Amino acid sequence: MLREAAEARRVAVVVNTGSRRGAEHYGPVVRRLARTGLPVVTTHAVTDGAEMEPTLRRVLKADHDLIVVGGGDGTLSTAAGLLAGTDRTLGILPLGTANDFARTLHVPADPVTACHALASGRVVDVDVGRVDGEPLLNVASVGLAVGVTEALTARLKKFLGPLAYPVATARAYRQHRPFRARLEFPDGDHEPVDLDDLLQVTVGNGRYYGGGNAISPTAGIDDHELDLVAIVRGNLPEHVTIARRLRDGTFVRHDNVHYLTTRRVRLSTDPPSDVTVDGEIAGTTPTLFAIERNALHVVVPTGSTAATLDGARAKRD
């Protein structure tokens, strides 16, 4: 297993050129990585998001010990799901709209700077969440977030970048309908919880979501727990107060917010709801969320304090 990116023997670079900045930066980042001295032996420009997983599977069959993936959070979530539990190391280039996984790990937003941070970076372990077995890097949600995801068109993200998120949220808020939820905890660390008149339920693995909002003040990518947040519908002034506290995560202390941490939770809703996972609609409730500890090796900048190499992986539940 690598301890530093500089130890890599064979490096593959896979870029989703359909991501917001992928096509623009594919050539420059490939050339920049080569100039850093990393032994880049193969590169792949993936123009269709549906081809990302097959491309990564082919790369995994080859003898690469560092796989650098460029794209948004959805692309990186796909990569993490395939690399989790292997001895391969993931390098990340933030080329999407929100880039919340990169933000969690303190990876620079500028692609060129990110290349240099990657080449000189160190390897840490991070947790990977699971949503009915599928990977979760940042957050999964039901409720308002589904409407936000539907409103976040490719055109809106292209022209507004991160500002597309508040615009899409305003659109989704006007059409939202409240729902009920039941939370059950298979490990018995909490009693079952029934909640009514909800705006949203979010389950977080990382620290950031939605272009830089914090899931809670203490959330981390290697704390071996999921952060669960349920927001009651309330009224508009209460929502404004909560919105003002999203950036640092202190909104979880609001009276209209239910917050806890757990390793596993089963979420049921009435009516059944779509579930967004790292910005993509990926299933429907009822859904089981779980944490896979120390599942993924990933390169972070030398100065990053987001995670450590702190132990052996836990078996998936």
Is 191 considered catalytic here?
no
Structural contact between residues 209 and 152, judged by C-beta atoms closer than 8 angstroms? no
Please state the rounded mean pLDDT for residues 143-152: 70
**What confidence tier does 153 reach under pLDDT thresholds 50, 70, 90?**
low
pLDDT of residue 23: 83
Helices (H), the chain: 22-35, 52-61, 73-83, 100-104, 111-119, 144-151, 154-160, 164-175, 236-244
pLDDT of residue 155: 65
Structural contact between residues 76 and 270, judged by C-beta atoms closer than 8 angstroms? no
> In this structure, which CATH number among 3.40.50.360, 3.20.20.105, 1.10.3720.10, 2.60.200.40 belongs to the domain 134-292?
2.60.200.40
Q: What is the mean pLDDT of the chain?
A: 88
pLDDT at 158 over 80: no
Q: pTM score > 0.85 for this model?
A: yes
Cα R_g (the chain), whole angstroms: 19
pLDDT at 316 over 60: no
Q: 260 or 175: which carries more pLDDT confidence?
A: 260
Q: Give the chain's end-to-end CA distance (angstroms, integer).
A: 24
**What confidence tier does 33 reach under pLDDT thresholds 50, 70, 90?**
very high
**What confidence tier does 161 reach under pLDDT thresholds 50, 70, 90?**
low
Structural contact between residues 310 and 222, judged by C-beta atoms closer than 8 angstroms? yes
Q: What is the residue extent of each domain of the chain?
A: 5-127+294-300, 134-292
Q: Which of 53, 184, 238, 280 is catalytic?
A: 280
Structural contact between residues 98 and 162, judged by C-beta atoms closer than 8 angstroms? yes
pLDDT of residue 235: 81
The percent of residues in the chain predicted with pLDDT above 90, rounded, is 64
Q: Which of 18-32, 64-78, 98-112, 245-259 has the lowest mean pLDDT?
A: 18-32
pLDDT at 44 over 70: yes
> Could you report the per-residue pLDDT of 68-105, keeping only the tens digit for each?
999 989 899 999 999 999 999 999 999 988 899 999 99
Q: Which of 104-118, 146-160, 202-216 has the lowest mean pLDDT?
A: 146-160
Q: 312 or 83: which carries more pLDDT confidence?
A: 83
Please state the rounded mean pLDDT for residues 32-52: 90
5-127+294-300 has which fold? Rossmann fold (3.40.50)
> Could you report the per-residue pLDDT of 198-253, keeping only the tens digit for each?
988 999 999 998 888 899 999 999 999 999 999 998 787 887 888 888 889 999 99
Instruction: Quote the CA–CA distance of 67 and 115 in Å, as a whole number.
Output: 13
